[in-house]
């Protein structure tokens, strides 16, 4: 007998409680309204001494369909020598939220916006992050521009940063732009109506494709972990789950952000400025990665080698696409999470193993990440030849806090994904799903339904017919129960 009755469970309240449990302060402190009112009373375009006026350029942004906190815009031009000049405009959040204010202290405590699927808990009030400091379409804004040139081999050079006035001419989305760039779909309306914009995006895509090719040659990892997003009804209830697919548009933005962050990191290094870097250390569990590869018929070097690892991943992606996301997730877990660290002048950064880059910081998302706000203040002080706003002790403490809260945010988002899936699937209790075994351990046997992409436990794994199941086995399972409070989904053979 199938269940068809929707489950009434307050996911927003659950998300709020989860935030508090993980150490966040999801409600803005008293006094926020007063500071916001003072910011709103400022001129629409604040003073930016020395800023270049680049509002005439055909800037555009590409982000998720639902994104409202726009942090960056892009523009490119073909140079006579064959290189492509790329400009990344990053929202100047600091010009509205000065260091030491109540809003700044709250952001420093939270360190990140948290996206729970049913509600965004922003690091900065939505009036700022989705309004005054967001690079919204057809609005004049102050930005920090990061500039570099890409040669035909994919090498980025000539990096520099400066203040500018900008205007986003077209707010675009990953799905539609990606489909168009890959010739899977028509040009979005804004692109179809503007030949210059179409040419601009094609040029940006050309630059991004050679950038990613260069990084892969140096050992960047082509991982494919799957992200899911709830499909919401008109009354804001989750009614389905969709997968977020990578495409040429997501790759374009990722490559430009990696390159821009590299420019900023090298600027600090050349100037002898202490900064916060984003790193993924050389995997401590490389021996286990070697074991995993060996079990799939590939021998990896005994010492960590990102190029050899990526070559193995590319082969597996072709050989077994059904399980590649699970293999990717295994490698990600064994590599260990990213972290923020202080890098002092003259020190060598540990680098980012997964990206195959040595110089890397976070600078391109100041509306949603506090490390990026700090980096923005450091680079602005450097450009203005002013005293640096943070001591090394300050930066170290901020880096530790940011790492701690990013881990907490990841746990909030993971637990809410499980709760959302439990609510969405509740009306389908009794239905059968195609599934893959994703884990077998002392706790039980875990399976992932193919569509929708959700995981659960096989509750009768000890019964005849279930014994001998191992990771990668395909089977049909019946949904027998969901518990959104605990985020449990139970399947049976």
Task: Report the relative pairing of strands 474-483 and 120-121 from DSSP bridges.
Answer: unpaired
Splitting the chain (493 residues) into consecutive groups of 10 residues, what average pLDDT does each group show?
Answer: 65 96 97 96 92 98 92 98 97 97 98 95 97 97 97 90 98 96 97 98 96 71 75 86 88 94 93 92 81 89 84 86 78 82 86 71 96 98 96 97 96 94 94 87 86 89 65 87 94 92
CB 73 within 8 A of CB 168: yes
DSSP H or E segment with residue 375: helix 370-383
* Same-domain pairing of 265 and 169: yes
* Same-domain pairing of 300 and 371: no
DSSP H or E segment with residue 17: helix 11-21
User: Could you tell me if residue 4 is inside a domain?
Assistant: no
* Same-domain pairing of 242 and 318: no
Q: Which domain holds residue 473?
A: 429-492
Which residues touch 98 (CB under 8 Å, ≥6 apart)? 104
* Same-domain pairing of 63 and 188: yes
Note the pTM of the prediction, 2 decimals. 0.89
User: Could you tell me if residue 408 is inside a domain?
Assistant: yes
Nearest in space to 472 (alpha carbons), one of 346, 329, 324? 324
Would you state the pLDDT for residue 464?
A: 53
User: Could you tell me if residue 1 is inside a domain?
Assistant: no
Would you state the pLDDT for residue 1?
A: 44
Alpha helices, DSSP H, located in 384-433: 392-425
Nearest in space to 93 (alpha carbons), one of 292, 291, 373, 318? 373
User: Could you tell me if residue 6 is inside a domain?
Assistant: no
Of the residues 401, 422, 443, the one at which a domain ends: 422
SS3 call for 173? strand
Would you state the pLDDT for residue 279?
A: 84
* Same-domain pairing of 259 and 115: yes
Give me the number of domains the chain comprises. Answer: 3
CA distance 227 to 420: 13
* Same-domain pairing of 115 and 244: yes
Would you state the pLDDT for residue 331?
A: 81
Q: Phi, psi (5° rounding) for residue 73?
A: -130, 160
Of the residues 303, 335, 367, the one at which a domain ends: 335
Angle, CA of 351, 396 and 386, to the nearest 5°: 95
CATH (domain of 447): 2.40.50.140
* Same-domain pairing of 344 and 329: no
Nearest in space to 210 (alpha carbons), one of 151, 267, 264? 151
Burial class, 485, CB count within 10 angstroms (exposed 0-12 / middle 13-18 / buried 19+):
exposed
SS3 call for 264? helix
**Strand stretches in 5-125, DSSP E:** 52-53, 59-63, 72-78, 84-91, 114-115, 120-121
* Same-domain pairing of 51 and 88: yes
Burial class, 68, CB count within 10 angstroms (exposed 0-12 / middle 13-18 / buried 19+):
middle
User: Could you tell me if residue 251 is inside a domain?
Assistant: yes
Would you state the pLDDT for residue 34?
A: 97
Q: Return the DSSP state at 305.
A: -
Examine residue 452 and say whether the peptide bond preceding it is cis (omega within 30 degrees of 0).
yes
* Same-domain pairing of 57 and 154: yes
Angle, CA of 313, 316 and 318, to the nearest 5°: 115
* Same-domain pairing of 375 and 479: no
CA distance 28 to 19: 13
CA distance 457 to 477: 10
User: Could you tell me if residue 105 is inside a domain?
Assistant: yes
CA distance 331 to 280: 13
DSSP 313-367: HHHHHHH-GGGHHHHHHHHHHHH---EEEEE-TTPPP--BTTTTBSS----S-TT
User: Could you tell me if residue 5 is inside a domain?
Assistant: no
* Same-domain pairing of 400 and 306: no
* Same-domain pairing of 369 and 405: yes
% of the chain beyond a pLDDT of 90: 66
User: Could you tell me if residue 466 is inside a domain?
Assistant: yes
């Amino acid at each position: 007998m199938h269940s068809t009755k929707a489950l009434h469970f307050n996911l927003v309240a659950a998300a709020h409680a989860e935030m508090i449990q993980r150490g966040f302060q999801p409600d803005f402190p008293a006094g926020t309204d007063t500071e916001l009112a003072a910011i709103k009373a400022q001129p629409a375009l604040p003073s930016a001494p020395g800023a270049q006026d680049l509002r005439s350029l055909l800037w555009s942004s590409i982000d998720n369909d639902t994104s409202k906190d726009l942090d960056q815009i892009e523009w490119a031009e073909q140079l006579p020598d064959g290189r492509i000049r790329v400009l990344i405009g990053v929202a100047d959040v600091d010009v509205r939220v000065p260091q030491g204010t109540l809003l700044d202290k709250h952001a420093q405590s939270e360190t990140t916006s948290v996206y729970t699927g049913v509600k965004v808990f922003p690091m900065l009030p939505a009036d700022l992050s989705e309004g005054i400091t967001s690079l919204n379409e057809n609005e004049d804004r102050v930005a920090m521009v990061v500039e570099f040139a890409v040669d035909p081999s994919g090498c980025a050079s000539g990096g520099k940063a400066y203040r500018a006035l900008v205007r986003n001419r077209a707010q675009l989305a990953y799905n539609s732009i990606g489909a168009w760039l890959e010739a899977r779909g028509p040009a979005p309306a804004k692109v179809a109506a503007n030949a210059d914009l179409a040419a601009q995006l094609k040029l940006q895509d050309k630059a991004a494709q050679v950038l990613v090719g260069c990084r892969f040659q140096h050992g960047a990892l082509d991982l494919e972990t799957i992200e899911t997003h709830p499909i919401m009804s008109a009354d804001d209830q989750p009614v389905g789950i969709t997968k977020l697919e990578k495409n040429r548009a997501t790759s374009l933005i990722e490559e430009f952000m990696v390159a821009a962050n590299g420019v900023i990191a090298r600027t600090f290094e050349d100037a002898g400025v202490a900064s916060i870097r984003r790193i993924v250390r050389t995997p401590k569990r490389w021996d286990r990665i070697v074991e995993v590869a060996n079990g799939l018929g590939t021998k990896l070097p005994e010492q960590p080698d990102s190029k050899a690892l990526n070559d193995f991943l590319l082969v597996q992606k072709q050989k077994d696409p059904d399980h590649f996301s699970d293999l990717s997730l295994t490698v990600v877990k064994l590599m260990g999470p990213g972290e923020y660290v202080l890098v002092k002048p003259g020190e060598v950064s540990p680098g980012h193993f997964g990206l195959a880059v040595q110089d890397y910081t976070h600078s391109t998302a100041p509306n949603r990440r506090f490390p990026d706000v700090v980096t923005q203040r450091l680079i602005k002080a450097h450009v203005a030849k002013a005293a640096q706003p943070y001591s090394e002790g300050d930066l170290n403490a901020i880096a530790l806090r940011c790492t701690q809260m990013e881990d907490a945010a990841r746990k909030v988002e993971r637990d809410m994904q499980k709760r959302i899936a439990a609510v969405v699937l509740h009306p389908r209790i009794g239905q059968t799903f195609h599934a893959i075994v994703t884990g077998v351990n002392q706790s039980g046997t875990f399976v992932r339904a193919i569509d929708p992409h959700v995981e659960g436990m096989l509750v009768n794994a000890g019964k005849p017919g279930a014994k001998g199941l191992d990771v990668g086995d395909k089977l049909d399972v019946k949904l027998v129960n969901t518990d959104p409070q605990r985020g449990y989904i139970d399947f049976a053979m």
